[in-house]
Structure 1
Amino acid sequence: MSNREAILPKAAERHALYEAHGYSAAIKSGDLLFVSGQVGSRLDGSPEPIFKKQVELAFENLKSVLAAAGCDFEDIVDVTTFHTDPENQFGEIMEVKEALFNTTPPSNWTAVGVNWLAGFDFEIKVIARVPSV
């Protein structure tokens, strides 16, 4: 039997979004944390229209989910990002990433170009190792 614990960020407004869409923000299994794709949504779930701010919000939402599990960016071991226009978006994404998530050595990272993200232009999902208490 697996040991799975749902993790939700502290912001109660975000809990309703996860419930409405039928998934957990993250699942903790043993010392691993599997974080669902985080997008740059406002508290009501709508996309932030300014791309760079959307990316910043996605990283802030990710930070909130990590914190709820006792993790931070240093604990991330695997990153997957999804982009609707990678060639034109990558510069702004890297600016935000380097300002908020600058670990050494850097985590591995897979970037995937997609044509649909439910109204969003960027999504980030990660796997992190939960620090021992």
Structure 2
Amino acid sequence: MSARDVVFPTERQALYERNRYSPAVRANGFLFVSGQVGSRPDGSPEPELEAQVRLAFNNLNAILSAAGCTFEDVVDVTVFIVDPARNFEPIWKIFPDYWGDAPHPTLTGVGVTWLYGYQFEIKVIAKLPASATLSAS
């Protein structure tokens, strides 16, 4: 197997190395991004729900940017929400600030009971722009 083409956001590589996973991997013209949570630079959770969701999107956007992408390049989204009956509406109200205009990516929402101290996680697949694909080769 060839080495993975890993993308690290600025200033967070140590956090990913400590937790033993890659934030994103380029493969076959796509960027596969690990689930992003509202973690502070030290990896601890942002306690307030809205701030946590915004931080998760900011962390996601940092990875997309490091790969030469934006949210406009995202084709598939999976979100994980603890206690979706209570948290879905407050979380969903934040999405328009980050989501962009139609056509929107596909979306799968999953209700979960535990996210390691977080209430929200977002995982995406993005199509790499031609310029990002060429620079990664």
Q: Same fold (TM over 0.5)?
A: yes
Give the drift of 1:52. Answer: 0.5
Q: Which of 106, 114, 125 is the matching residue for 1:127? A: 125
Of 82, 90, 93, which aligns to 2:91? Answer: 93
The TM-score, its normalising length taken from structure 2, stands at 0.91
1:92 is paired with a residue whose SS is helix
In structure 2, runs of 5+ residues without a counterpart are 132-137
Query: Is the 1:35–1:127 Cα contact (8 Å) retained in structure 2?
Result: yes
Give the counterpart letter for 1:49 in structure 2: P
Match of residue 6 from structure 2: 6
Q: Report how many residues are paired.
A: 131
Question: Aligned residue for 1:51?
Answer: 49
Q: Give the 5 Å matches for 1:1-133.
A: 4-10=4-10, 12=11, 14-133=12-131
* Structure 1, unaligned runs of 5 or more: none
Q: Secondary structure at the match of 1:96?
A: coil
CA distance in structure 2 between the partners assigned to 1:63 and 1:6 by the alignment: 16
Instruction: Provide Cα deviations, 1:38-70, integer angstroms capped at 9, x if missing partner.
Output: 000011110000001000000000000000000
In the TM superposition, structure 1's runs of 4+ consecutive aligned residues that sit over 2 Å from their partners are 1-4
1: CA distance between counterparts of 2:125 and 2:27? 11
Displacement of 1:4 in angstroms is 3.2
